């Protein structure tokens, strides 16, 4: 692994654009190097390291510069190693493996990659309803309108009373805000902006403009939090400190701290321009450079507040550091906001649920829009504003003098005052959300001399990480000799990935894992010899399973036409008009559908949900009577979607029998019950069985480092077709994710054509990615127009002397709804999440149906019949065959003469639809020139 990691690192270094001299571009490959002290300046250390680094990388094409301009040469020195023009496209475990190579070869204390992964979530309504956001829906989002009183959060904190005590309202206090920057909005323009001290770390220069990138997870976030903190008295909302001076620092495109170096740079800038408060409405993994920057800020008597975190349960970093004041979230009833992280690291809480804020997420949004936002981001901004009120009221000089007299920093004096004056509701739970809720008026009336403050020794790395492991994995004994400097970031990233995947931390459950995250070999080796067994349990995790791209947005809930056409259709493949389909939902048609429900979705009945079945029947009657104008409840719509999707769409197991692959269900001698399970497809499958059996031998499971990544099928003597997002799990696009120049294999990849994908004699090595669609898929928003297709070159004969299976011909017949019947052949993987009900509960009807179809037999070859539903853009169509994540890259074949391949399956949405590319449309569109040279019939 280490040799391969070094090979990948050298390949990426060779792709560096030597003409670019900016080290902090978004999504850039970048590392923070920590060197032990030796008395030399950071600049001298950088100069001395260039030669060894050039020799190691076999290239001088890199940037190496000091991270901090005033590092003490008698302390650890931080340098930034960046590769301009090379995007961060390799998986996290490869980033950590490359960092380990650098650390060992260059004798570093630590080497931390900027990860760029998303952990800190500020839930927004447009995220709801997708598979990707199922955890966010259940754990975070609170439905409903914000309170009519736009100043309710200020009233909750008794800020107006504090203004009456101190009319300064934060005047003269400078608050720095590392965030996404600011945009044109009346509420932020009404703030007292100190643009002379602003900075744009990402693009360079001093203009902190947030470009509102469509691809960013949190466009406009800095504008929103800045308005809550410091908006003036003339707008729709008012900030907690309307007279404070706000210093916007653009250091993030999304609100996450995995890119530690630009955040560390932002904190340093805030200190150097003399900010009094730093408000950090962001969070993620730890960063040794960020931690050093925070300690330098706190030592300079700055107040640093940070968000406890959202939607992950655990308190995130930098709030997790004991140097920081971590802020949890509450609601208007003084209860916990459901998405707030909690735990012993939280010092105080403030409103986080439906807090009025400026809203502008794109240039097309109305420039003066305000709305209710959710997240500890807003609790943090409010608390930072209250810190400004406190400093302005007592005066910075007096506060600093009082802190020195107590032999503490201003940070500890303010923390103690916050906790001492906190408002504690009657049912407040100690140890979860801090001492209580911020009380600004009480804070300002507490004399400085009466603040009960004691010294707080800084926790060691073993103590700090031990607390996190206990919260995530239960009690244990922290290993005092484990090298946290080398491996702490990776340990924390795995813990947080698990937490975000839906782990119920409060119940101490261990089974929910972020299986798309693996541990690096370096961490595995270190964890295996550690005395803390929790580290081994974390590192020795299951290999990455099949992944799928982010799902498409849900269908428009106001549209009923699709439901009418599906429910009112008749077997046989004839497309019906909307009127005919609606007529078929008359009572006789409804009764036939309900008979199907009783027969096939029996688990719904067994769970005692007879009322849900009644809702389904009532929904059908509504659609019959009112057509597309029907008003369906959410329960009715969910039930009807389930009826469409969970019936008569079997997945047929493929097995080896008599030296050939065939269906486990013996269609040459089927029983009546077996035929009934095939529904409308029984006749077509019987007639096409011989042709089907000749095709499915050319479909195989693609594995990366032995783990299921997806499905592929042979399309040329040495080529296999799959999805680009499957290729992304085994190779990295270089030097950029979009329109890369080439692909670099980062894993050992193979394709196995046996039914169980466990036969070395039918396994073939993947040697390169020959072609892939130009746009990145994993981690990006769904777009049916993006070509999720890749061609992999494979060996034509393997070590067992076997030849690659025969190629599959592609259909050049135009797709249409007149001949909609199809089959999908692939390797479905066990789902890692399920759709949820509006109240956040798992849809057990879906679970039971999948159990009935697959049992626990995943990762093996299946054949699923279905129908084309509609086109989905210029190169894609919808189908309703039963698929799961491992089906990515499955071939979609027409149930017609010769069973040719017409499509490439690439995505799906629970109870909505599945998506496939029309290969003919892709060929004729010219976006994949190699397709023209394949075999077409």
CATH number at residue 924: 2.40.10.10
**Mind listing the pLDDT tens digit for each residue in 665-688?**
767 766 666 666 676 777 788 888
* 542: DSSP letter: P
* 781 and 819, same domain (yes or no): no
Least confident of 34-43, 249-258, 304-313: 249-258
Q: According to the model, what pLDDT value does residue 208 have?
A: 96
Q: According to the model, what pLDDT value does residue 855 have?
A: 65
Q: According to the model, what pLDDT value does residue 503 have?
A: 44
Q: Pick from 449, 473, 489: which residue ends a domain?
A: 449
- In the numeric block, which tokens belong to residue 237? 């909302």
* 103 and 230, same domain (yes or no): no
> Of 463-467, 803-807, 881-885, 892-896, where does the model show the most confidence?
803-807
Judged on CB neighbours under 10 Å (0-12, 13-18, 19+), 21 is exposed
pLDDT at 510 over 50: no
- Confidence band for 123, pLDDT divided at 50, 70 and 90: confident
**Phi and psi (nearest 5°) for 647?**
-125, 145
**Mind listing the pLDDT tens digit for each residue in 875-934?**
999 888 878 777 899 999 998 888 999 999 998 765 567 889 999 999 999 989 999 999
Q: Are the CB atoms for 58 and 10 separated by under 8 Å?
A: yes
Q: According to the model, what pLDDT value does residue 849 have?
A: 59
What percent of the chain clears pLDDT 70, i.e. is strictly above it? 84
Q: Pick from 539, 570, 592: which residue ends a domain?
A: 539
* 80 and 131, same domain (yes or no): no
* 164 and 21, same domain (yes or no): no
- CATH number of the domain residue 788 falls in: 2.40.10
b/e 751-778 (16+ beta carbons within 10 angstroms → b): bbbbbebeeeebbbebeebbbbbeebbb
Residue 120 in domain: no
Q: According to the model, what pLDDT value does residue 609 have?
A: 47
* Cα–Cα dist 605/625, whole Å: 26
* 630 and 657, same domain (yes or no): no
- Neighbour count for residue 691 (Cβ, 10 Å): 16
- CATH number of the domain residue 259 falls in: 3.40.50.200
* 685: DSSP letter: H
The whole-chain average pLDDT of the chain stands at: 86
CA distances from 102 to 9, 35, 143, 346, 732 (A): 10, 12, 48, 35, 20
**Mind listing the pLDDT tens digit for each residue in 176-189?**
999 999 999 999 99
- Confidence band for 552, pLDDT divided at 50, 70 and 90: low
Q: According to the model, what pLDDT value does residue 129 have?
A: 40
Q: Are the CB atoms for 465 and 487 separated by under 8 Å?
A: no
Indicate if the alpha-carbon torsion angle 428, 431, 435, 436 is positive or negative: negative
CA distances from 135 to 54, 103, 501, 647 (A): 45, 36, 7, 26
Residue 455 in domain: no
Average pLDDT on 223-235 reads 96
**Mind listing the pLDDT tens digit for each residue in 584-635?**
888 877 787 776 666 544 444 444 445 566 777 888 888 888 888 888 775 6
- Confidence band for 126, pLDDT divided at 50, 70 and 90: very low
Q: According to the model, what pLDDT value does residue 603 have?
A: 47
* 693 and 708, same domain (yes or no): no
* Cα–Cα dist 411/276, whole Å: 10
Q: Before 865, cis peptide (omega within 30)?
A: no
- In the numeric block, which tokens belong to residue 174? 């400078």
- CATH number of the domain residue 52 falls in: 3.30.70
Query: Which residue spans within 251-339 are E strands per DSSP?
Result: 277-280, 303-307, 325-330
**Mind listing the pLDDT tens digit for each residue in 246-269?**
999 999 987 765 789 999 999 999
Q: According to the model, what pLDDT value does residue 596 have?
A: 61
- Confidence band for 756, pLDDT divided at 50, 70 and 90: very high
Q: According to the model, what pLDDT value does residue 635 have?
A: 62
Q: According to the model, what pLDDT value does residue 133 have?
A: 45
* Cα–Cα dist 379/351, whole Å: 5
Placement of tokens 């203004």 in the chain = 163
Task: Please compute, for residue 539, the number of CA atoms within 13 A of its CA located in the half-sphere on the CB side.
Answer: 22
Q: Are the CB atoms for 800 and 753 separated by under 8 Å?
A: no
Placement of tokens 């700090």 in the chain = 464
pLDDT at 134 over 50: no
Return the closest-CA partner of residue 877 out of 913, 852, 829, 851.
Answer: 913
Least confident of 89-93, 500-504, 672-676, 825-829: 500-504
Return the closest-CA partner of residue 265 out of 212, 200, 197.
Answer: 200
Q: According to the model, what pLDDT value does residue 114 have?
A: 95
Q: Pick from 794, 820, 850: which residue ends a domain?
A: 794
- In the numeric block, which tokens belong to residue 760? 């070395």
* 132 and 224, same domain (yes or no): yes
Q: According to the model, what pLDDT value does residue 206 have?
A: 95
Q: According to the model, what pLDDT value does residue 76 have?
A: 94
- In the numeric block, which tokens belong to residue 397? 């000089």
Residue 42 in domain: yes
Q: Are the CB atoms for 330 and 353 separated by under 8 Å?
A: yes
pLDDT at 214 over 80: no
Q: How many residues does the chain have?
A: 937
Residue 848 in domain: yes
Q: According to the model, what pLDDT value does residue 502 have?
A: 58
Residue 205 in domain: yes
* 405 and 329, same domain (yes or no): yes
Question: Total domain count for the chain?
Answer: 6
Q: Are the CB atoms for 923 and 932 separated by under 8 Å?
A: yes
* Cα–Cα dist 74/303, whole Å: 26
* 95 and 166, same domain (yes or no): no
- Confidence band for 845, pLDDT divided at 50, 70 and 90: low
- In the numeric block, which tokens belong to residue 491? 């340990």
* Cα–Cα dist 826/235, whole Å: 57
Give a three-class secondary structure readout of 21-75: CCCCCCCEEEEEEEECCCCCCHHHHHHHHHHHHHHHHCCCCCEEEECCCCCCCCC
b/e 813-847 (16+ beta carbons within 10 angstroms → b): eebebebbbbbbbbbbbbbbbbbbeeeeeebbbbe
Name the residue range of residue 579's domain: 561-640
* 498 and 409, same domain (yes or no): no
- Confidence band for 509, pLDDT divided at 50, 70 and 90: very low
* Cα–Cα dist 685/378, whole Å: 58
* Cα–Cα dist 687/685, whole Å: 5
* Cα–Cα dist 612/591, whole Å: 15
Residue 895 in domain: yes
Q: According to the model, what pLDDT value does residue 291 have?
A: 97
Q: According to the model, what pLDDT value does residue 850 have?
A: 60
Q: According to the model, what pLDDT value does residue 517 have?
A: 75
* 346 and 386, same domain (yes or no): yes
The secondary structure of 686-736 as a DSSP string is HHHHHHHHHHHTTEEEEEETTEEEEEEEEEETTEEEE-HHHHTTTEEEES-
* Cα–Cα dist 498/937, whole Å: 47
b/e 478-507 (16+ beta carbons within 10 angstroms → b): bbeebebbbbbbbbbbbbbbbbbbbbebee
Residue 555 in domain: no
- Residue 762, classed as helix, strand or coil, is helix
* Cα–Cα dist 222/228, whole Å: 10
Residue 567 in domain: yes
* 838 and 825, same domain (yes or no): yes
Q: Which residues are CB-neighbours of 533 under 8 A, at least 6 positions away?
A: 476
Return the closest-CA partner of residue 191 out of 152, 149, 229, 153.
Answer: 229
* Cα–Cα dist 225/378, whole Å: 6
């Amino acid at each position: 692994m280490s040799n391969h990691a070094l090979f990948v690192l050298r390949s990426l270094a060779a792709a560096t654009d030597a003409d670019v001299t900016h080290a902090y571009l978004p999504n850039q490959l970048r590392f923070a190097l920590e060197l032990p002290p030796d008395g030399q300046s950071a600049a001298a250390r950088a100069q001395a390291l260039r030669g060894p680094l050039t020799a190691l990388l076999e290239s001088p094409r890199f940037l190496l510069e000091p991270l901090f301009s005033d590092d003490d040469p008698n302390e650890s020195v931080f340098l930034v190693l960046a590769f301009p023009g090379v995007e961060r496209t390799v998986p996290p475990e490869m980033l950590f493996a490359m960092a380990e190579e650098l650390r060992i070869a260059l004798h570093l204390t630590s080497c931390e990659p900027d990860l760029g992964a998303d952990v800190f979530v500020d839930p927004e309504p447009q995220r709801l309803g997708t598979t990707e956001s199922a955890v966010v829906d259940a754990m975070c989002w609170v439905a409903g309108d914000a309170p009519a009183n736009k100043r309710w959060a200020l009233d909750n904190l008794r800020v107006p009373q504090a203004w009456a005590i101190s009319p300064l309202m934060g005047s003269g206090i400078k608050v720095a805000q590392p965030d996404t920057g600011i945009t044109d909005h009346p509420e932020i323009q009404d703030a007292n902006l100190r643009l002379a001290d602003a900075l744009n770390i990402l693009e360079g220069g001093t203009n902190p403009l947030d470009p509102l990138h469509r691809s960013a997870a949190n466009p406009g976030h800095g504008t929103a939090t800045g308005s809550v903190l410091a908006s003036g008295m003339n707008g729709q909302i008012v900030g907690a400190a309307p007279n404070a001076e706000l210093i916007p620092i653009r250091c993030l495109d999304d609100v996450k701290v995995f890119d530690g170096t630009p955040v560390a740079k932002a904190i340093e800038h805030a200190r150097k321009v003399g900010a009094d408060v730093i408000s950090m409405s962001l969070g993620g993994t730890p960063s040794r450079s960020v931690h050093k920057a925070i300690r330098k800020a706190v030592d300079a008597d700055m107040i640093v507040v940070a968000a406890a975190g959202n939607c992950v349960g655990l308190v995130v970093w930098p709030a997790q550091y004991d140097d920081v004041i971590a802020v949890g979230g509450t609601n208007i009833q003084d209860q916990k906001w459901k998405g707030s992280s909690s735990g012993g690291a939280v010092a105080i809480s403030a409103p986080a649920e439906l807090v009025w804020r400026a809203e502008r997420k794109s240039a097309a949004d109305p420039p003066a829009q305000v709305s209710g936002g959710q997240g500890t981001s807003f609790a943090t901004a409010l608390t930072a504003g209250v810190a400004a009120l406190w400093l302005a009221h007592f005066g910075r000089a007096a506060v600093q003098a009082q802190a020195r007299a107590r032999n503490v920093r201003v940070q500890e004096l303010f923390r103690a005052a916050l906790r001492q004056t906190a408002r504690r509701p009657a049912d407040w739970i100690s140890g979860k959300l801090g001492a209580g809720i911020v009380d600004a008026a009480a804070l300002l009336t507490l004399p400085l001399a009466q603040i009960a403050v004691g010294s707080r020794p800084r926790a060691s790395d073993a103590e700090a990480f031990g607390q996190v492991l206990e919260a995530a994995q239960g009690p244990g004994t922290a290993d005092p000799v484990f090298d946290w400097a080398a491996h702490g970031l990776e340990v924390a990233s795995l813990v947080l990935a698990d937490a975000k995947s839906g782990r119920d931390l409060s119940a101490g459950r261990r089974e929910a894992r972020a299986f798309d995250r693996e541990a690096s070999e370096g961490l595995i080796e270190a964890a295996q010899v550690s005395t803390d067994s929790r580290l081994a349990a974390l590192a020795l995790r299951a290999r990455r399973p099949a992944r799928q791209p982010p799902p498409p947005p849900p269908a428009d809930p106001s549209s009923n036409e699709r439901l009418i056409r599906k429910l009112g259709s008749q077997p046989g493949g004839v497309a019906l008009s909307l009127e005919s389909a609606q007529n078929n939902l008359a009572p006789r048609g409804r009764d036939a559908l309900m008979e199907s429900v009783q027969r096939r979705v029996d688990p719904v009945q067994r769970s005692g949900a007879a009322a849900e079945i009644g809702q389904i029947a009532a929904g059908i009657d509504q659609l019959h009577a009112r057509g597309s104008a029907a008003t369906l409840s959410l329960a009715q719509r969910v039930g009807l979607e389930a009826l469409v999707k969970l019936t008569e769409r079997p997945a047929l197991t493929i097995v080896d029998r008599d030296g050939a692959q065939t269906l486990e269900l013996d269609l040459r001698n089927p029983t009546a019950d077996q035929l009934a399970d095939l529904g409308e497809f029984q006749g077509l499958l019987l007639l096409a069985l011989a042709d089907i059996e000749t095709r499915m031998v050319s479909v195989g499971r693609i594995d990366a480092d032995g783990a299921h990544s997806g499905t592929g099928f042979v399309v040329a003597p040495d080529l296999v077709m799959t999805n680009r997002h499957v290729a992304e799990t085994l190779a990295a696009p270089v030097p950029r994710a979009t329109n890369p120049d080439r692909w670099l294999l980062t894993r050992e990849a193979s394709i196995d054509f046996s039914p169980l994908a466990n036969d070395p004699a039918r396994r073939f090595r993947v040697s390169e990615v020959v072609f892939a669609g130009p746009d990145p898929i994993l981690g990006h928003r769904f777009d049916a127009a993006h070509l999720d297709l890749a061609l992999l070159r494979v060996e034509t004969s393997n070590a067992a002397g076997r030849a690659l299976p025969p190629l599959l011909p592609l259909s050049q017949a135009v797709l249409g709804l007149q001949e909609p019947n199809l089959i999908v052949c692939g390797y479905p993987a066990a789902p890692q999440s399920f759709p949820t009900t509006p109240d956040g509960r798992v849809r057990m009807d879906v679970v039971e149906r999948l159990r009935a179809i697959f049992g626990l037999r995943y990762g093996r070859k299946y054949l699923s019949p279905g129908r084309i539903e509609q086109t989905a853009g210029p190169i894609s169509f919808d189908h309703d065959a039963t698929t799961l994540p491992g089906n990515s890259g499955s071939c979609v074949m027409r149930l017609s003469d010769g069973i040719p391949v017409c499509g490439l399956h690439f995505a799906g949405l629970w109870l909505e639809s599945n998506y496939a590319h029309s290969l003919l449309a892709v060929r004729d569109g010219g976006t994949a020139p190699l397709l023209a040279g394949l075999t077409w019939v």
